[in-house]
């Protein structure tokens, strides 16, 4: 089973250009006929950050120059995580016709999901750049710590897209559960409020996998080095997800075509 799963992975790596082309096709078809295409996402994200920034800065009594970069990074990064998890639930079910008609590594479909959301993230990064330029802020050298953290994100994203896609193909009740969990996670993961506002309970945030994964990328980009507990938490949760995904995919790989 593990040998077959490894073969699927190596074949998917060899077909990386196909995954990239499929991801581009998804973006193109989604905004076919639109004047500005995927930049509608950038525009809507910018409007949301602008409106929420003024409102919550006033509610939380936060300095605009501090809160706006925090909120912009949080929303853009969270949108990537949320969309990735939501799309992962449909990574195999949404490709039923292709899976039944073409012999192709299953990890190609998972990679397609990851690359598609990565493209959307790159469009939304424009909003963060605009916020930094308007406020005349610039990332510090600490920001380079976000690079390995973001690479870890991609590995975990592939694992999530594969395992969640297989589970949702087998159990059709899981997608709405995933949607509900992501809605709750948005409010408890420090996306619109800063961890310092908990006043003495910040250490409990390390128990939240969404916060830990978000903070190891967001913190360095804001010029802050995350605590060692956040790094341990993020690495531990990542290892658990990768191991469980590997075992699950190895066991159910031969059944996915029947489940979809």
Mean of the per-residue pLDDT values for the chain?
86
pLDDT at 96: 79
- The residue extents of the domains of the chain are 2-259
User: What residues contact residue 89 under an 8 Å CB cut-off, 6+ apart?
Assistant: 164, 165, 168, 174, 175, 178
Mean pLDDT of 175-179: 88
pLDDT digits (tens, 9 = 90+) for 236-247: 999 999 999 999
**Which has more pLDDT, 61 or 184?**
184
The single-letter DSSP state of residue 38 is T
**Per-residue pLDDT at 154 exceeds 90:** yes
pLDDT at 35: 66
In angstroms, the CA 154 to CA 162 distance is 12
Tell me the torsion sign for CA atoms 213, 239, 151, 169.
negative
pLDDT at 47: 86
In angstroms, the CA 75 to CA 126 distance is 13
pLDDT at 3: 80
**Which has more pLDDT, 35 or 190?**
190
User: What residues contact residue 173 under an 8 Å CB cut-off, 6+ apart?
Assistant: none
For 79-106, give one letter per residue: b (16+ CB within 10 A) or e.
Answer: bbbbbbbbbbbbbbbbbeeebeeeebbb
Mean pLDDT of 192-209: 81
pLDDT at 134: 86
pLDDT at 66: 84
Q: pTM of the prediction?
A: 0.88
Q: What angle do CA 124, 109, 8 make, to 5 degrees?
A: 130
Q: Are 65 and 136 in contact (CB under 8 A)?
A: no
Q: Are 92 and 256 in contact (CB under 8 A)?
A: yes
Beta-carbon-side half-sphere exposure of residue 204 (alpha carbons within 13 Å):
9
pLDDT digits (tens, 9 = 90+) for 16-54: 888 888 888 888 887 776 667 677 788 888 888 888 888
Mean pLDDT of 45-68: 82
**Percent of the chain residues topping a pLDDT of 90:** 26
pLDDT digits (tens, 9 = 90+) for 90-147: 888 878 778 888 888 888 889 999 999 998 898 888 888 888 888 888 778 888 999 9
Q: For residue 121, what are its two tokens?
A: 């993230």
In angstroms, the CA 109 to CA 6 distance is 16
């Amino acid at each position: 089973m593990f040998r077959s799963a490894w073969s699927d992975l190596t074949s998917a790596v060899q077909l990386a250009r196909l995954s990239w082309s499929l991801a581009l096709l998804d973006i193109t078809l989604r905004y076919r006929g639109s004047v500005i295409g995927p930049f509608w996402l950038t525009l809507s994200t910018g409007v949301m950050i602008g409106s929420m920034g003024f409102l919550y800065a006033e509610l939380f009594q936060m300095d605009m120059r501090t809160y706006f970069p925090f909120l912009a990074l949080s929303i853009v990064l969270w949108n990537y995580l949320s969309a990735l998890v939501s799309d992962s639930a449909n990574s195999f079910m949404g490709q039923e016709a292709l899976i039944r008609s073409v012999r192709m590594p299953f990890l190609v479909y998972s990679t397609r999901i990851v690359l598609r959301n990565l493209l959307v993230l790159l469009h939304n990064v424009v909003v963060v750049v605009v916020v930094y330029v308007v406020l005349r802020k610039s990332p510090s050298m600490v920001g380079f710590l976000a690079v390995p953290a973001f690479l870890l994100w991609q590995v975990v994203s592939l694992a999530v897209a594969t395992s969640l896609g297989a589970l949702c193909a087998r159990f059709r009740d899981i997608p709405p559960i995933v949607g509900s969990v992501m809605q709750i996670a948005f409010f408890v993961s420090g996306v619109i409020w800063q961890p310092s506002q908990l006043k003495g309970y910040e250490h409990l945030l390390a128990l939240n996998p969404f916060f830990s994964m978000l903070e190891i990328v967001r913190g360095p980009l804001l010029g802050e080095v995350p605590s060692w507990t956040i790094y341990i938490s993020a690495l531990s949760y990542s290892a658990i997800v990768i191991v469980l995904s590997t075992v699950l995919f190895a066991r159910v790989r031969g059944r996915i075509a029947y489940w979809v």
